[in-house]
Amino acid sequence: MESLISLLFMISGSVALQQDVQAKLGADVTLQCQITTDERISVLKWSRADLNTDGYVYFYRNKRSYENYQHPSFHGRVKLRDPEMKDGDVSLILNNVTFNDTGMYECHVAVRNPVRSKRVHTEISHFINLTVTALQLDVQAKLGDDVSLQCQISRDEIISVLKWSRADLNTDGYIYFYRNKRSYENYQHPSFHGRVKLRDPEMKDGDVSLILKNVTFNDTGMYECYVAVRMPVRSKRGHTEISHFINLTVTGESLPCPQIAPLAHFKNT
């Protein structure tokens, strides 16, 4: 995803600020944090309180970053917007956000003040509450048509589970269920038997789109495409879960019932 969601904070003194940010699943988000330009940064810590026992989101001290202090889920996914932190910009870019990235982030900066200042050292914190929301598409289809419900993940991810479902039907089965390289028709809701197939059975390039045939008014509803993936060997992230939502509306008129002539008509002919 190319979209960047930005939030600007200007911090001075030791005031802690907080702001709410929303990002779409799979997008890149910029968590902005800035200090006054005449302060020299000695320590920068981006963290989340619920993850601190396992490492930081980003850690910098004495003119270098420390990846070995980083939480495993952020390896290879975070970077400073400006590696030189010019003009006090210590904003962080978080790539390809997942639902697990939802949480309260703290930007903590320890600075040495310039010689002319009476303050030798200052610590500054502000907080960003990040919420990751699911992708949703609205799709319309004519009664009786075949419709493609599109869903795609990045091409370098290995699919372990794929579930197409509708919340109002989940107690009776899935629309489509795939796990460990095979589909399971016995997990399927009866109304979809023989009416659904993957657009690409091999799911090349991460295409897990579903074709629903001969749609009826009963097919109207909110569909979820849920994918559990294993990351490639070169990635330090082991597992990711992704959901997309499609709101399908079936339009058109039902075919009128044929009119039956009254019995009197047949008697008179």
pLDDT of 154-200, one tens digit each?
666 789 999 999 989 878 899 999 998 999 999 999 999 999 999 99
The pLDDT of residue 132: 84
pLDDT tens for each residue of 9-23: 333 444 556 788 988
Number of Cβ within 10 Å of residue 222's Cβ equals 13
Report the Cα 138 to chain-centroid distance in Å: 17
Query: Does 137 have pLDDT greater than 90?
Result: no
Domain ranges across the chain: 18-133, 137-251
pTM of the full predicted structure? 0.56
| Predicted pLDDT at 68 | 92
Distance of alpha carbon 265 from alpha carbon 263, whole angstroms: 5
Average pLDDT across the chain, whole number = 82
Match domain 18-133 to its CATH number in 2.60.40.10, 2.20.25.90, 3.40.50.300, 2.40.50.180.
Answer: 2.60.40.10
CATH class of 137-251: mainly beta
Strand ranges of the sheet holding 196-198, from the earlier edge strand across to the other edge: 147-149, 210-212, 196-198
| Sheet strand arrangement including 28-31 | 4-7, 28-31, 92-94, 78-80
Confidence of residue 256 (pLDDT cuts 50, 70, 90): low
CA pair distance 45, 103, nearest whole angstrom: 16
pLDDT of the residue at 136: 80
Same fold, 18-133 and 137-251: yes
